[in-house]
């Protein structure tokens, strides 16, 4: 199947490495121009834009700060003219034990919610407004997690809760604005071999991830890219509001 995304501007948050980098690379191969969002990895973002081409550009924003998400979207539209697809991929997973002080626990909770949910919600709001003003179709793809449905270990409760909120947000957008041409989707990976997963593995061991899947290897960022490219193409529009699970068959395990 040939997918041509030429003429589409796609904003991907957290695109300088990991899942975001894999998505940017695959989407650009299909012809899209990518707005590569990064926080601190400026060299990686600039290098990625050079490699993937298509007049892709880097955009910096610290999504842990309340005002940054909206400004990011506005800059992308100003410099690129439009956004046809928004992919909320940036995320943090800050572990904090239940026996931590209330101040420390609340700080980690708020920081996680700000990046994973609130900034993503602001970007969704900006995207929907943009699509409606243009009177054209647009797509939002939110990268959630299996943890949104299964839950997570006690010290990652904030992460699981933030990803569950992202699912509800996506379904609400799909329901409310579908007739206006706005489609919204969730992609929910299990463990993916990224720096974020490495922190978890370092704490709980490799078996904590390997024993949880039904395939021969842990999911890698590149495994998400073909599906996201397909969704971005519009060929999955009648799945708006749906969640696509990519977790190496971990839901099928009975032991």
Catalytic residues: 159
Q: Is the pLDDT of residue 195 over 80?
A: no
Q: Is the pLDDT of residue 205 over 80?
A: no
pLDDT tens-place string over residues 17-47:
999 999 999 999 999 999 999 999 999 999 9
Residue 159 neighbours by CB under 8 Å, 6+ apart: 91, 92, 93, 94, 112, 116, 145, 147, 152
CA distance 112 to 10: 24
Per-residue model confidence (pLDDT) at position 203: 62
**Averaged pLDDT score across all residues of the chain:** 92
Q: What is the mean pLDDT of residues 85-112?
A: 97
Per-residue model confidence (pLDDT) at position 202: 60
Q: Is the pLDDT of residue 132 over 60?
A: yes
Domains of the chain: 9-246 (3.40.50.720)
Higher-pLDDT residue of 218 and 133 is 133
pLDDT band at 253 (very low <50, low <70, confident <90, very high): very low
CB-based burial label for 46 (10 Å; 0-12, 13-18, 19+): middle
Give the least confident one: 6-10, 66-70, 211-215, 233-237: 211-215
Could you give the maximum distance between any two Cα atoms of the chain, in Å? Answer: 54
Question: Token digits for 127?
Answer: 């995207």
Whole-angstrom CA distances from 131 to 105, 181, 237 are 38, 8, 15
Sign for the CA dihedral angle at 48, 74, 167, 163 comes to positive
Q: What is the mean pLDDT of residues 217-233?
A: 94
pLDDT band at 160 (very low <50, low <70, confident <90, very high): very high
């Amino acid at each position: 199947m040939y997918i041509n995304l030429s003429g589409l501007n796609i904003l991907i948050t957290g695109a300088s490495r990991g899942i975001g980098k894999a998505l940017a690379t695959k989407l650009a191969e299909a012809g899209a121009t990518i707005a590569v969002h990064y926080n601190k990895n400026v060299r990686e973002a600039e290098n990625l834009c050079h490699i993937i081409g298509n007049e892709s550009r880097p955009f910096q924003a610290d999504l842990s700060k309340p005002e940054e998400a909206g400004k990011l979207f506005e800059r992308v539209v100003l410099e690129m003219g439009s956004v046809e697809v928004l992919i909320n991929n940036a995320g943090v997973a800050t572990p904090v034990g239940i026996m931590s002080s209330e101040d420390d626990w609340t700080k980690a909770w708020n920081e996680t919610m700000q990046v994973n949910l609130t900034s993503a919600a602001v970007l969704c709001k900006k995207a929907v407004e943009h699509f409606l003003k243009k009177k054209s179709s647009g797509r939002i793809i939110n990268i959630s997690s299996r943890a949104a449905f299964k839950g997570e270990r006690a010290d990652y409760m904030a992460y699981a809760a933030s990803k569950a909120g992202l699912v509800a947000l996506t379904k609400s957008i799909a329901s409310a604005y579908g007739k206006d041409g706005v489609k919204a989707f969730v992609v929910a990976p299990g463990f993916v071999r990224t720096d974020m997963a490495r922190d978890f593995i370092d704490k709980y061991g490799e078996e904590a991830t390997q024993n949880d899947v039904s395939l021969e290897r842990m999911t890698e960022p590149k495994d998400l890219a073909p599906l996201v490219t397909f969704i971005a193409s519009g060929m999955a529009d009648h799945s708006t509001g749906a969640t696509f699970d990519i977790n190496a068959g971990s839901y099928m395990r009975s032991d």
